[in-house]
Structure 1
């Protein structure tokens, strides 16, 4: 009589996806433009490069799973209950704004805008209600991570939105004075709603 094969141990359930993991996902996208800032933030979180890669892998798997949750349910399971839901009107669209704090940026909130049909159509970082935004007078004030999309658009109106080069990215085209007072045409790039870089698109001699 042969030996009985050893009983298989039950597979461990996957570790929960935490607010720390979500912050690493945000940083993973921003590393394309500002590696130094991302490195400092990653060290502040006590996470390794491998941790960041793994968090991003799991995030992508969650988003593309056959039975993926809706955006609000997914963020609620990761970040907990949102702050009080606010009604928001953007043009002709009425929607609900769900806000969650993000410890890396205490003055910001992660916002999910949900249309009346329950579909989330925007997910990005915004200034926290009541928090003072930056003073944006010249292009020199537009430093990486200094402002959000809507803050830059208001400060340098009229600004024209541009399609992002990848998911979670946005662009703005506008004109503003540089440090010498010369008005320049620019394109600003944002990841998850936070400014990453500004490129001057005109020429002083043009």
Structure 2
């Protein structure tokens, strides 16, 4: 790989997702035509950009790696106004990589979201929450109310909620996401009888 561009960036995303879904991540890496060495090199270069003392900031890093955003939208989150920059992600054609930036250019959030206008899933049952099927927002809407939990790393999010299986069982669970894309669903232990 010579230039660090969208293909290399996707390899960085896949490297983190492989912690939860190694099989899916390997299939996606192969679909990109990349070797494990390519992926290691992409991750090494990305980490060097992130940690560089000469770094111009996260927003400039994304623009450098991904080019001009496909779309830039104004967003209001509570009393705060920000800019949402969206880039296509060829591995997931109906998703976009979204960076939320403050007016001063500081990056508040970076994750995968459904592309504007793209039909997303509307899961009704916990059984429908399969790896890579939904974004954080889609799970939060489908199983409201949800409780956000601290992620286990900067690129991870978790939501706790209660839902029903297709068989009708009510289960308490935690959905885990990497870069905003669902990786796995962990079910809480059933409470002891009589509690």
Query: What band does the TM-score fall into relative to the shorter chain?
Result: over 0.9
Q: Aligned pair 1:125/2:112, yes or no? A: yes
Query: Normalising by the residue count of structure 1, what TM-score does the alignment of the two structures yield?
Result: 0.90
SS at match of 2:105: coil
**Structure 1 position 21 matched with structure 2 position 13:** no
On the 8 A contact 2:59/2:106 being kept in 1, the answer is: no
Structure 1 regions of 5+ residues with no counterpart? 1-13
In structure 2, the partner of 1:106 is 93
* Structure 2 residue aligned with 1:6: none
- Segments ≥4 residues shifted beyond 6 Å: none
Match of 1:71 among 58, 64, 70: 58
Structure index of larger Rg: 1
SS in 2 for 1:60: helix
Q: Does 1:62 align with 2:49?
A: yes
Say whether residues 1:182 and 2:169 are aligned partners. yes
- Between 1:112-121 and 1:144-153, the stretch displaced more is 112-121
**Residue aligned with 1:146, SS:** coil
> 1:144-198: per-residue Cα shift (whole Å, max 9, x none)?
0000001100100010111110120000000000121111110000000000000
Question: Which residue does 2:179 correspond to in 1?
Answer: 192
CA–CA distance in structure 1, aligned partners of residues 55 and 84 of structure 2: 21
Kindly tell me the number of residue pairs found equivalent between the two proteins: 193
**Which of 145, 157, 162 is 2:144 aligned to?**
157
Q: 2: CA distance between counterparts of 1:197 and 1:24?
A: 20
CA distance in 1, matches of 2:49, 2:103: 24
Counterpart of 1:167 in structure 2 is: 154
- Provide the aligned C-alpha RMSD in A: 1.4
CA distance in structure 1 between the aligned counterparts of 2:46 and 2:164, rounded to whole angstroms: 40
Query: Which residue, 99, 107, 124 being the options, matches 1:137?
Result: 124
Q: Do 2:122 and 2:138's aligned partners in 1 also have CA atoms closer than 8 Å?
A: no
Q: Deviations over 1:55-88 (max 9, x none)?
A: 1111111000001122222111111110231011
The reply to whether residue 96 of structure 1 matches residue 92 of structure 2 is no
Q: TM-score, normalised by structure 2?
A: 0.95
Q: 2:74 matched to 1:87? A: yes
Q: 1:32 aligns with which of 19, 25, 28?
A: 19
